[in-house]
Amino acid sequence: PVYLDGHATTPLAPEARAAMDPWWHQRAGNPNSPHRHGRFADAAVETARRQVAELIGAMPGEVYFTSGATEANNLALIGSVLAARAQGDTRTQLVVSAIEHKSVLNAAHALERQGITVATAPVTADGVINLERLSQMISKATLLVSVMAANNEIGALQPLAAIAEIVRASGSLLHVDAAQIVGKLPFDASVFDYVSLSSHKMYGPMGIGALYVSGAAAYRPQPILYGGDQEGGLRPGTMATPLVVGFGAAAALATTELHNDTRRTRALAERFEEALRERQVRFTRHGAATARLPGSVSVAFDGIDASELIAAVSDQISISEGSACQSGQITPSHVLRAIGLSDSLLRSTVRIYFGRYNSEDDAVLAAEAIAAAVAKLRLRTGDRLQ
């Protein structure tokens, strides 16, 4: 089947894979070792740090490698609370949005057990954070605001410049989970305090990511793991040189491919919707027409059970219900709930992503497969009106 689930993970870029190759064996070495192999590995890690920094408009020294965006999100939230406390800062409130990834929401909930209060800002039907409500929630007691740049289920893009202005006026810290946007759209980290990145969402390897910590942030997070003094003591543990090198190569590639990718993937998503309409399939697409991650399509086929649809097309295409991190759970997506979908629309929503390695044929094939399956399923459920 054709892979169309780039929100869950993107295929490794061949260029990143080639860059990683020598670091598994021929050039193996711990970047902390003082011998020649160690020095080479260390130099490769620092090159990757520059490549990642360049993609997000940061200084290399502001990029700390982690195991992924989950760890970066935990480090930003828990580490900044620890740092603030250590400095005698008495602010105890976090503000998050209702559509954050579970690694933000659950880290925030864990902090609730330690005297932190969490306020959750609602979103509009398009999945955009309600700025009025957000500013009402932020007060002198707000230590940190955490919002995502692009949503991993519906692709909604957030008005980050406006959010940054609101948060800056309050003196609170601002963390942005940029896992889904970096490498897909231009992104400037330097206006934020902390930014989380994930390599496997931008055609780099799995198991590596980064936390950007602005040199101007009021606090550098305290570590949440204890060990050696790698990554400036912020994130101990032996650096995974091949993964870091692959992440760096993917970042360098994104720097040059970004505009091409954006144009192509946006056109593929449009072609898919057009092909559905050509086949007279009834559907509702979630999220705004323009403020959306290019290539991302969250779409409901009224009256159809999403899991049945996904199974029916699984020989031709791999698509998903909401978030992969939630699949297997019975609870419906908190994101689709937050945009106010009815239970029936929520159950009939699938998530599709057209990425760098997809073609127009893939977009048409997806529409064909879905049109056929929807017709069959609607017939079966007795809905002959479609």
**Choices 69-77, 120-128, 332-340, 361-369; region in contact with ligand PMP by CB under 6 A:** 69-77
How far apart are alpha carbons 73 and 147 in whole angstroms? 11
For residue 253, what is the enclosing H or E element? helix 241-278
- Does residue 296 belong to the site contacting ligand PMP (CB under 6 A)? no
How far apart are alpha carbons 127 and 146 in whole angstroms? 16
- Does residue 295 belong to the site contacting ligand PMP (CB under 6 A)? no
**Choices 89-97, 161-169, 173-181, 333-341; region in contact with ligand PMP by CB under 6 A:** 173-181
Letters for 314-353 (x = contact with ligand PMP by CB under 6 A, - = none) are -----------x----------------------------
Q: Give the nearest residue (CB) to ligand PMP.
A: 68
Residue partners of 29: CB distance under 8 A and separation at least 6: 35, 36, 37, 38, 39, 40, 41, 241
Nearer to ligand PMP (CB atom), residue 23 or residue 65: 65
Q: Min. distance of Cβ 325 from ligand PMP in angstroms?
A: 5
How far apart are alpha carbons 53 and 279 in whole angstroms? 45
**Is the separation of the CB atoms in 112 and 164 below 8 Å?**
no
How far apart are alpha carbons 198 and 189 in whole angstroms? 14
Catalytic residue among 28, 86, 216, 325: 325
Options 56, 79, 94, 177; binder of ligand PMP; rule CB under 6 A: 177
- Number of residues located near ligand PMP, criterion CB under 6 A: 14
Nearer to ligand PMP (CB atom), residue 160 or residue 179: 179
For tokens 């995974």, what's the residue? Answer: 240
Helices 241-278 and 360-380 cross at an angle (nearest 10°) of 60
Q: Min. distance of Cβ 351 from ligand PMP in angstroms?
A: 11
How far apart are alpha carbons 128 and 290 in whole angstroms? 12
Options 6, 31, 68, 303; binder of ligand PMP; rule CB under 6 A: 68
How far apart are alpha carbons 297 and 3 in whole angstroms? 14
Options 10, 51, 70, 265; binder of ligand PMP; rule CB under 6 A: 70
Residue 85 appears among annotated catalytic residues: no
**Choices 67-75, 128-136, 296-304, 335-343; region in contact with ligand PMP by CB under 6 A:** 67-75
Distances (CA, A) of 82 to 19, 69, 86, 91, 358: 37, 19, 6, 12, 43
- Does residue 127 belong to the site contacting ligand PMP (CB under 6 A)? no
Q: Min. distance of Cβ 179 from ligand PMP in angstroms?
A: 4
How far apart are alpha carbons 67 and 62 in whole angstroms? 16
Options 55, 84, 108, 148; binder of ligand PMP; rule CB under 6 A: 148
Options 79, 204, 205, 209; binder of ligand PMP; rule CB under 6 A: 209
**Choices 43-51, 62-70, 187-195, 298-306; region in contact with ligand PMP by CB under 6 A:** 62-70
Distances (CA, A) of 208 to 113, 154, 243, 354: 29, 24, 6, 23
Options 49, 85, 91, 101; binder of ligand PMP; rule CB under 6 A: 101
How far apart are alpha carbons 149 and 178 in whole angstroms? 5
How far apart are alpha carbons 31 and 51 in whole angstroms? 17
Options 69, 145, 157, 258; binder of ligand PMP; rule CB under 6 A: 69
Binding-site ranges for ligand PMP (CB under 6 A):
68-70, 73, 101, 103, 148, 152, 177, 179-180, 198, 209, 325
Residues with active-site annotation: 325
